C-alpha cells in the first residue's frame, strides 16, 4: 500500500457487539493496529499500551481500532479483562489482513507458518494512509504513533 492513497475501507464485527466500518470515522484520524492473537503476552502489552494512551489519542482527534483474526467472543473477553476502551475487530476470514498486507510468512524457532505481522497504520482525516509501521517492537511504539498523530495536526 502506498502512503498518500486512500486507506482500503472495510466492515468487521467488533468486541462491542456492533459492526465497525472504517469509513464511519471520516473526518477523524484513525490508528489501526493489527496484532496476531488475543491473550498472548506481547499482544496484551501492546493492547494495554494503546489503552493507557487512549486519552492522548482522543485529545488529538484520533480513534484507535485493533484488528486480529480472533473471533468476536474472544475479543470481548480480552477487552473486558484488560479494560480496553476501543473496539477490537474480528477478521476471521483474513480479508482485511490481506487487504493491508499484514498476513505474512513468519518464522519462529526454524518453523515457518502464516500469521499476522504486527503492524500499525495511521489514516488521516481525509481517509488517506499517512504513515505505517510494520513488524514493530512494542517498546516506545505507542509514543511514536502518538507523535505522528500530533504531527498531522
Q: What is the pTM of this model?
A: 0.95
Q: Report pLDDT for 108.
A: 81
At a CB cut-off of 8 Å and minimum separation 6, what does 70 contact?
Answer: 37, 38, 78, 88, 90, 92
What are the residue ranges of helices labelled H in the chain? Answer: 41-52, 54-59, 72-81, 95-99, 141-151
Q: Report pLDDT for 40.
A: 93
User: Cα–Cα distance between 48 and 43 in angstroms, integer?
Assistant: 8
Q: Report pLDDT for 2.
A: 79
Alpha-carbon distances of 29 from 15, 69, 92, 95, 102, rounded to whole Å: 21, 23, 25, 22, 21
Q: Report pLDDT for 53.
A: 96
* Residue 50: all three cell numbers together: 494503546
β pairing state of 103-108 and 111-116: antiparallel
3-state secondary structure of 118: coil
Residues in the chain: 153
Alpha-carbon distances of 91 from 28, 66, 69, rounded to whole Å: 22, 10, 4
State the catalytic residue, choosing from 30, 43, 63, 88.
Answer: 43
* Residue 80: all three cell numbers together: 473486558
Q: Report pLDDT for 1.
A: 63
* Residue 11: all three cell numbers together: 466492515
pLDDT in tens, the chain (153 residues): 678 899 999 999 999 999 999 999 999 999 999 999 999 999 999 999 999 999 999 999 999 999 999 999 999 999 999 999 999 999 999 999 999 999 999 888 889 989 999 999 999 999 999 999 998 999 999 999 999 999 998
Known catalytic residue at 43 = yes
| 133 bridge partner residues | 120
* Phi and psi based region of residue 4 (left: phi greater than 0; alpha: psi -120 to 50; beta: remaining): left
Amino acid at each position: 500500500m502506498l502512503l498518500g492513497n486512500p486507506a482500503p475501507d472495510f466492515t468487521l464485527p467488533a468486541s462491542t457487539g456492533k459492526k465497525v466500518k472504517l469509513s464511519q470515522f471520516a473526518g477523524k484520524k484513525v490508528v489501526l493496529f493489527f496484532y496476531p492473537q488475543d491473550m498472548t503476552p506481547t499482544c496484551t502489552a501492546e493492547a494495554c499500551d494503546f489503552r493507557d494512551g487512549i486519552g492522548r489519542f482522543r485529545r488529538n482527534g484520533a480513534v484507535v481500532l485493533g484488528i486480529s483474526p480472533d473471533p468476536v467472543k474472544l475479543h470481548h473477553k480480552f477487552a473486558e479483562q484488560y479494560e480496553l476502551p476501543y473496539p477490537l475487530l474480528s477478521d476471521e476470514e483474513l480479508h482485511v489482513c490481506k487487504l493491508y498486507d499484514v498476513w505474512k510468512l513468519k518464522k519462529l524457532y526454524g518453523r515457518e507458518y502464516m500469521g499476522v505481522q504486527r503492524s500499525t497504520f495511521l489514516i488521516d482525516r481525509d481517509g488517506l494512509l499517512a504513515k505505517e509501521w510494520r513488524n514493530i517492537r512494542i517498546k516506545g511504539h505507542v509514543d511514536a504513533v502518538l507523535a505522528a498523530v500530533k504531527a498531522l495536526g
